[in-house]
Amino acid sequence: MTNISELGTATALQTADLVRRGEVSALEVCDAAIDRIESRDGPINAVVVRDFERARASARSIDTSRTKEDERPLLGVAMTVKESNDVCGLPTTWGFTEFADYTPEQDAVAVERLKAAGAVILGKTNAPVALADWQTVNPVYGRTVNPHDHARSPGGSSGGAGAALAAGMVPLELGSDIGGSIRIPANFCGVYGHKPTYGVIPLQGHGFPGTDGVDVPLAVVGPLARSAKDLTTALSVMSGSAVPGWKLDMKPPRHRELEEYRVLVLPGDGLPPVADDVATAINEFVKSLDDAGVDIAMHADGLPDFSVAQANYVAMLTAITTRGTPGAEPIDAHAWMDLVDAQMRLQRQWNEVFRDFDIVLAPTASSTAFPHMDEPDWHDRPYTVNGERVNYGVQVFWAGLATYPGLPSTAMPLSTSAEGLPTGLQALGGQFEDLTTLKFAELVEQAGLTLDPAASISR
């Protein structure tokens, strides 16, 4: 690749390969990414913390130390991370003005591992206050918009991450997810995202500003990218225990060929409504899988009671996200243990489902990206599906499918709606079978069955 402008559509792995072969320097990659951010981000407001001089220094260090045998998988890849991930010397505010001056003194474990793999961190991308919305706006950095339609949300809470990828600023991002915060921005912005199995990537350095307690139950950090294979590489780089004596032994992909997969499409009966354009995209994708020889099932015995699972998930999520906030109603230890018991039972139910199926497909969200909404009370937000007003919080159902039982889920872009907005779905897998959902995403991407995120990027 001799045209630096083409780096804007290159994947992370393609970029690292170019640097490794000496076709482009890490500094050229870094400078090109900085140029893209400076020329494109003005109206989007995705990259809200910029650390360009230190990034250039890191890139120069890579160039001076690199050898032909350098096997670092992300060699010279210029990327950004969600604002809630600690980077030494940069602010971590979670959108709170009270923490505008809080600057951690060490990197999050995930950030540290990305750097060790050769990545160059350009700065941080925007997130909503407390990471608690499917929009991305806060009083510290303002609002981030969707590159496909500036009047609409990029999703949240990793909305800045999704927007930076969709606009071609960077090829790889680090987000976090407890209520769809990786998957919904990936869906709304037309890119890939992976919510790992709970516990696969250490959470140290991704906590409420100034705290250093236990890992937050349900919460994960994970990658977003414009290529499924980039997700796999980033996951492999960041995963593994940070505690001596524990070793992660990730299960390999169940299959290497698309037609070998057994896929269950989650039945729609009794579930939240899904917009027609989203349902159509999913149905067309399923038909394409069927045509490709994939074993498709539309019904299954032994599925969990989703209404019960949803109620328990919301109760646990509420206890986690309101802990320590003024006026929050505490939960007693027995009630908490009841939720943990229900969570374990749910995991066992899903384990049985994944004896018969390799992948479960479900919507990532009830709709495509929605218009910006400023009403502080979610009940007042005019969110609609197929012209009918529904509860704004309905999105949490689709997030909870994987979050409450701690399952891996890979979000994939499918197509564009009549309004030009990305559609997508999520592929759920069994516990610690992240490589199965990721391989499935890679295979459908290779088969041309998904949306190419680079196609809408202007060079």
Residues acting as catalytic residues: 82, 157, 181
SS3 427: strand
How distant, in Å, are the alpha carbons of 82, 107, 130 from that of 86? 9, 5, 15
Amino acid at 241: S
User: Minimal CA–CA distance to 47: which of 58, 36, 62, 59?
Assistant: 36
The DSSP annotation for 23-61 comes to: SS-HHHHHHHHHHHHHHHSTTT--EEEE-HHHHHHHHHH
SS3 125: strand
CB of 92 within 8 A of CB of 86? yes
CA dist., res. 182 & res. 194, Å (int): 7
Chain centroid offset of residue 342 CA: 26
CA dist., res. 220 & res. 196, Å (int): 7
CA dist., res. 429 & res. 360, Å (int): 7
